[in-house]
Chains A and B, each alone.
Chain A
Amino acid sequence: MTKSEKWKKINKSIKERPEVQDYKNWEELPPIPISLPIDGSIGATGDWRTFRPVIKEGCNSCGICWLFCPEGTISRKDDGSFEIDLRYCKGCGICAKECPSNNIEMVRESDMKDG
């Protein structure tokens, strides 16, 4: 298999997508890196967070926070309520600012029980 056929095969097949560790040296690398859309391809960016958004009890599940979250870390659960994926939430606070019923509170991580 030529080098270019190898790159093509790797790029075409999700299953055969190698981990970066599978490349031993520069000669084995393709000409440009490609990343497939997987959750958190750059790592657990939730580590960057100083303030954590906490959804309070009065939330009426309007979905505005879900619409505004720039990182797509808010998702709707089966019961219609919303949850925030804290592995990737950077704590920007846009959800709290946009919440029409002021039901998202930004709490300093060090003040959280598990923080």
Chain B
Amino acid sequence: MVEAQQDFIQERETKIIKGNEAAAYAAKSARVQVISAYPITPQTTVVEKLSEFADNGEMPGTQYIKMESEHSVFAAVIGASKAGTRTFTATSGQGIFYAHEMIHWAAGARLPIVVAIASRGPAPPWNIWADFTDVLSQRDTGWMSSFCASHQEIYDEILMSYKVCEDHEILLPKFVAYGGFILSHTSKPVIIEDQDLVDKYLPSLPSEEGWPHIWMDPKRPMMFGNLIMPSGFYYEFRMKIHDAFIQAKEKIKNATKEFENIFGRHYGNGLIQEYRMDDAKVGVLIYGDLALQMEQAVDDVREEGYKVGMIKLRHFRPFPVEDIINSMKKVEIIGVIDRATAFGSQTGGPVSGEVKSALHEINGAPKVLSIINGLGGREVSLEQQKNQLKMLVKFKETGELPKDMIHGTLWDGLLEVE
């Protein structure tokens, strides 16, 4: 088994780097032991940067494995994780879909693998730009999933993810998603943390004995995830995955709090992050990079005298039902903005549908208006977001909905060519 050594030490440093590089630096800071790689736009530069680290000797002891497809990439990290190592890879869009079988396997085997997703729109038509349908389509695979709104959050969220995933009560894999190109290929200052502090924050790397429930020992061969007849415990093993998800909510909150104590960066309670919600009358729930620009929109619309607020959804799985209910009770109208599709569902957007079901039968719950925008990387301007907020204010004041809603959802920003 490969063990990370101490001979390369990163000191706290602010670097101007792309979002994909922030993901690679996070894997390095986490002392990841096995990386499997296959290129796909817009993720490619994550694994390219990691190959650079591995080649330069900046990740001593780390195995970098080049695979021939995403299916194999996930099979490789599953094998490496079973052997008792901290593993990492990154993919996007079609790559996720190709790996879907292995994605289910990793969760069923309860392996704490962390994967960065530079999200892109599913094909056809071909698309490589920001759209979270790729990661959200993995909803029921048993992977936790979270969204990042900034370059720094990519680095931080990957570190926090290892903390939660490797908890012995949880043992689940996780996707850390961020918008393709918008975050993956733009540069911003990112604080790369002191290695000693990261080591202190994260659980220690798995020992030779591996994880508590699964590991490989050639001297004592065994079979993991063997066939179970219907009368056996298959049903119970699946139920336990759901139980781990529910327990993960508290673990995510604790990991976020501890992260804040050590590194000083605040991400709400980990599951959601409120922005000016306390005295708001109208709110939006939004996720991913558009949440960052929405903060500005909230500030601007507030200057015009409207009390608006924002909830940034950080985790999609586990879905923070209780926190969403508590936060949304503060407002009368909530717009839920998806940059993804769930065709044929009640709203057409994956998150707005979830929010509606969370608020079902809750006294004092606000009215939900589902909004979809920015599909396939379509630009969503600050002005457009301000108009979304003002539209919600108008809905509250007059009960008047936009005229161009389609099947009860506002598909905001559809092209109309004259």
Binds A, one of B206-214, B249-257, B347-355: B206-214
B233 at the interface (CB under 8 A from A): yes
A35 to B232, CA, bound (A): 13
A1-41 toward B: CB 8 Å interface, digit per residue (1/0)?
Answer: 01111011001001000001001011001111111110001
Q: Which residue of B lies closest to A4 (CB)?
A: B212
User: Could you pull out 22 A-B pairs where Cβ atoms are within 8 angstroms?
Assistant: A4-B212, A5-B212, A7-B212, A8-B209, A11-B213, A20-B233, A26-B233, A29-B237, A30-B213, A31-B110, A31-B237, A32-B214, A32-B224, A32-B225, A32-B237, A33-B225, A33-B226, A33-B228, A34-B214, A35-B222, A37-B223, A41-B226
Closest 4 CB pairs of A and B: A4-B212, A26-B236, A31-B110, A4-B168
A112 at the interface (CB under 8 A from B): no
In the assembled complex, the CB of A82 is this many whole angstroms from the nearest CB of chain B, namely: 25
B362 at the interface (CB under 8 A from A): no
A85 to B354, CA, bound (A): 55
Q: Are B233 and A4 in contact, CB atoms less than 8 angstroms apart?
A: no
For B213, the chain A residues whose CB sits under 8 A away are: 4, 7-8, 11, 30-32
For A14, the chain B residues whose CB sits under 8 A away are: 220
A42 to B226, CA, bound (A): 9
Interface of B is mostly: loop
Q: Are B233 and A29 in contact, CB atoms less than 8 angstroms apart?
A: yes
Contact of A8 among B110, B212, B225 (CB under 8 A): B212
For B240, the chain A residues whose CB sits under 8 A away are: 26, 29, 31
Q: Are A32 and B168 in contact, CB atoms less than 8 angstroms apart?
A: no
For A5, the chain B residues whose CB sits under 8 A away are: 212
Interface set, chain B 237-259, CB cutoff 8 A to A: 237, 239-240, 243-244
Size class of the contact patch on chain A: 20 to 34
Question: Given known contacts A4-B212, A4-B213, is B227 in contact with A34 (CB within 8 Å)?
Answer: no
In the assembled complex, the CB of A39 is this many whole angstroms from the nearest CB of chain B, namely: 14
For A11, the chain B residues whose CB sits under 8 A away are: 213, 215, 222
In the assembled complex, the CB of A15 is this many whole angstroms from the nearest CB of chain B, namely: 13
A7 to B211, CA, bound (A): 10
B79 at the interface (CB under 8 A from A): no
B109 at the interface (CB under 8 A from A): yes
For A26, the chain B residues whose CB sits under 8 A away are: 233, 236-237, 239-240, 243
B230 at the interface (CB under 8 A from A): no
Question: Given known contacts A23-B233, A29-B236, A29-B240, is B168 in contact with A34 (CB within 8 Å)?
Answer: no
Q: Are A33 and B237 in contact, CB atoms less than 8 angstroms apart?
A: yes
For A7, the chain B residues whose CB sits under 8 A away are: 212-213
B124 at the interface (CB under 8 A from A): no
For B243, the chain A residues whose CB sits under 8 A away are: 26
In the assembled complex, the CB of A93 is this many whole angstroms from the nearest CB of chain B, namely: 24
For B226, the chain A residues whose CB sits under 8 A away are: 33-35, 41-42
A36 to B239, CA, bound (A): 23
Q: Are B212 and A34 in contact, CB atoms less than 8 angstroms apart?
A: no
In the assembled complex, the CB of A12 is this many whole angstroms from the nearest CB of chain B, namely: 8
Select the residue from A23, A30, A31, A36 with max chain B CB neighbours within 10 A: A31
For A37, the chain B residues whose CB sits under 8 A away are: 221-223
A92 to B324, CA, bound (A): 58
Q: Are B222 and A34 in contact, CB atoms less than 8 angstroms apart?
A: yes
B171 at the interface (CB under 8 A from A): yes
B108 at the interface (CB under 8 A from A): yes
Q: Which residue of A lies closest to B228 (CB)?
A: A33
Given pairs A32-B109, A33-B233, 14 additional interface contacts (CB within 8 A)? A3-B169, A4-B168, A29-B237, A30-B213, A32-B213, A32-B224, A33-B224, A33-B225, A33-B237, A34-B224, A35-B223, A37-B221, A37-B222, A41-B226
In the assembled complex, the CB of B227 is this many whole angstroms from the nearest CB of chain A, namely: 6
For B224, the chain A residues whose CB sits under 8 A away are: 32-34
Contact of A34 among B223, B232, B236, B239 (CB under 8 A): B223
A112 to B232, CA, bound (A): 34
In the assembled complex, the CB of A63 is this many whole angstroms from the nearest CB of chain B, namely: 24
A41 to B223, CA, bound (A): 10
A111 to B169, CA, bound (A): 56
In the assembled complex, the CB of A95 is this many whole angstroms from the nearest CB of chain B, namely: 25
For A32, the chain B residues whose CB sits under 8 A away are: 108-110, 213-214, 224-225, 237
A33 to B227, CA, bound (A): 9
A44-72 toward B: CB 8 Å interface, digit per residue (1/0)?
Answer: 00000000000000000000000000000
